[in-house]
């Protein structure tokens, strides 16, 4: 990457889902044997399914049952039953062939397509597009992350390696104290990136055993307590949050 490129210009260098889908299908067609799916119609259905797959939103999932129903199992020669007359097979044989084809398609999506996608592209959501998945080529995103991390470390943060992290953890565990650290996740926004803290496990020693607590589980417990208190206060003719806040001020320091 050119040293004069800034993050604000690179953040717009995304790859469209349509281009990602074309790349994945071309890679599959080059790597996988043609006989794996049989006729050209089955390959066309796979291409359409890949386009749907790369267009999914962040928490969406895709069912491959419609894809299997559109494929012609009879055109997959390596699934043909030896000894069958005129290509006619029983219902049990058809179910077996369909299950085998479903396993092959699942393997293509889970092992081939997912590996290619994670290797070539970085998939993330954006502030400006909510749950829509955005694709960056790996070299571009690596440079964005490098520049952003360098800027962050020059301000008020510092990076620790695994050896330093383990040393601090053991030192605090011997004193029976919590140790929490965070990884950074970069979220693209309109003219740059936003750093998000990803909370990891906190450790504490009880007796001679190690106990592990998650920061998220701690906040879930606090949230449950607050919800219980709000319901309790709601029965005391306290309605809005502002009124609950004023009600709680009278108990400060009690």
**CA nearest neighbour of 24 among 9, 7, 43, 37:** 43
- Reading the block at residue 17, the tokens are 């889902």
Global pTM value: 0.68
Write out pLDDT tens, residues 193-210: 887 776 555 444 444 344
Report the pLDDT value the prediction gives residue 171, as an integer from 0 to 100: 76
Measured CA to CA in angstroms, residue 216 lies from 100, 222, 223, 229 at distances of: 41, 10, 10, 20
Q: Tell me whether residue 198 is exposed, middle or buried, using C-beta atoms within 10 angstroms of its C-beta: 0 to 12, 13 to 18, 19 or more.
A: exposed
Binning pLDDT at 50, 70 and 90, where does residue 135 land? very high
SS (H, E, C) 178-235: CECCEEEEEEECCCCEEEEEEECEEEEEECCEEEEEEHHHHHHHHHHHHHHHHHHHHC
Confidence at residue 115, expressed as pLDDT on a 0 to 100 scale = 92
Residue 121 tokens, joined: 């592209």
Q: How far apart are CA 242 and CA 77, in angstroms?
A: 71
């Amino acid at each position: 990457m050119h040293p004069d490129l800034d993050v604000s210009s690179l953040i717009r260098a995304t790859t469209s889902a349509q281009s990602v889908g074309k790349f994945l299908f071309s890679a599959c067609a080059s790597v996988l044997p043609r006989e794996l799916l049989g006729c050209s119609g089955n390959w066309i259905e796979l291409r359409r399914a890949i386009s749907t797959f790369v267009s999914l939103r962040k928490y969406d999932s895709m069912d491959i049952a419609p894809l299997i129903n559109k494929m012609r199992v009879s055109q997959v020669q390596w699934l043909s039953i030896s000894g069958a007359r005129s290509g006619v097979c029983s219902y049990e044989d058809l179910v077996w062939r369909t299950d085998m084809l479903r396993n092959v398609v699942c393997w293509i999506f889970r092992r081939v397509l997912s590996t290619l996608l994670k290797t070539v592209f970085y998939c993330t959501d954006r502030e400006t597009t909510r749950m829509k998945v955005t694709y960056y080529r790996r070299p571009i995103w690596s440079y964005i992350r490098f520049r952003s991390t360098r800027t962050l470390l020059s301000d008020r943060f510092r990076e620790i390696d695994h050896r330093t992290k383990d040393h601090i953890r053991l030192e605090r565990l011997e004193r029976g104290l919590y140790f929490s650290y965070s990884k950074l996740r970069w979220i693209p926004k309109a003219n740059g990136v936003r750093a998000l803290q990803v909370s990891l496990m906190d450790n504490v020693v009880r007796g001679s055993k190690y106990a592990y607590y998650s920061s998220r589980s701690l906040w879930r417990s606090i949230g449950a307590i607050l919800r219980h208190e709000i319901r309790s206060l709601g029965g005391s003719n306290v309605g809005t949050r502002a009124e609950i806040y004023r009600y709680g001020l009278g108990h400060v320091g009690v």
